[in-house]
Amino acid sequence: MIDVLYFAWVRERIGLPSERVDTQAQTVGELVAELAARDDRYAAAFADVTALRAAVDQELVDDFSAPITGAREVAFFPPMTGG
Amino acid sequence: MEIRVQSQPFDAGAELNQFTSAQSSVGAIVSFSGIVRNNSAGDLRAMEIEHYPAMTEKAITAIAQQAQDRWDLADVLVIHRFGLLHLDDPIMMVATAARHRVAAFAAAEFLMDYLKSRAPFWKKEHGGHAEWVAAQQSDEDALQRW
């Protein structure tokens, strides 16, 4: 089981801030594929992965081939707009 | 180094005075304040800032640590707000203290460039309609100069 968090418009499209997911996915990309196949809301949120960023255990990953084995938390969000 | 992530407003002038008086034998202090400005339609009612609580402070601390590793800094202050803000409200501030101004200016710019696109905040403008602020390619490009 892994905690999956959503922020900004990803959260709005999916309709949830977070959930626990039972997954065999080994990478961020595999988790995206599993989630996107769930229903229209997830498909809409994950439609354009180039518009998405991810963090594994609160560390930003460079790309979606990043492993998630042993991770407790994966977060999905649009590019950050701080400052 | 002091990092604060908070919903409450802050007084940038008072924070800068306090930061300044806490230093000894520095020759330069640089500060930057970010303020809520109007949207392009000119009808901004509020600016909502969402963040990733478990990650925010950790990410900012790592950015500030990089700045300290890179320049000879005496101290760094970062304050960043989240929640519902209004026109002209302070959003965030950065202050750097160093022996020399070149380091203080460069570190403040570095901090701002990284806070903009590597600290987990997302801005939403509430005006005629609500819209998430899109990240700019120029903000991403700004990281290349470091």
CA nearest to A64, candidates A51, A82, A81, A49 = A49
Closest partner residue to B122 (CB to CB) among A7, A60, A73 is: A7
Q: Is the pLDDT of residue B43 over 90?
A: yes
Q: Are the C-beta atoms of A79 and B118 separated by less than 8 Å? A: no
Q: Do B119 and A77 touch (CB under 8 A)?
A: no
Counted domains in chain B: 1
- Measured between beta carbons, the chain A residues lying within 8 angstroms of B91 are 83
Integer angstrom CA distances of residue A72 from A19, A38, B7, B61: 12, 21, 27, 21
Q: How far is B9 from chain A (nearest CA, A)?
A: 15
pLDDT at B40: 87
- Determine the residue among A60, A73, A74, A81 to mutate to test chain B binding: the one whose Cβ has the most chain B Cβ atoms within 10 Å: A81
CA distance A12 to B4: 27
Alpha carbons within 13 A on the beta-carbon side of A82: 28
ipTM for the whole complex = 0.96
Report the pLDDT averaged over residues A2-27. 97
Residues of chain A whose C-beta is under 8 A from some C-beta in B? 5, 7-9, 55, 58, 60, 73, 75, 77-83
Q: Which residues have CB under 8 Å from B127's CB, separation 6+? A: B39, B41, B43, B44, B45
Q: How far is B15 from chain A (nearest CA, A)?
A: 17
The per-residue pLDDT for range B102-144, each reduced to its tens digit, is 999 999 999 999 999 999 999 999 999 999 999 999 999 999 9
- Side chain identity at residue B12, one-letter code: A
CATH number of the domain bearing residue B28: 3.90.1170.40
For B10, the domain range is 2-145
Q: Is the pLDDT of residue B4 over 90?
A: yes
**3-state secondary structure (DSSP) of residue B24:** coil
Domain A2-77 in CATH 3.10.20.30? The answer is yes
Q: How far is A12 from chain B (nearest CA, A)?
A: 11
CA distance A26 to B47: 37
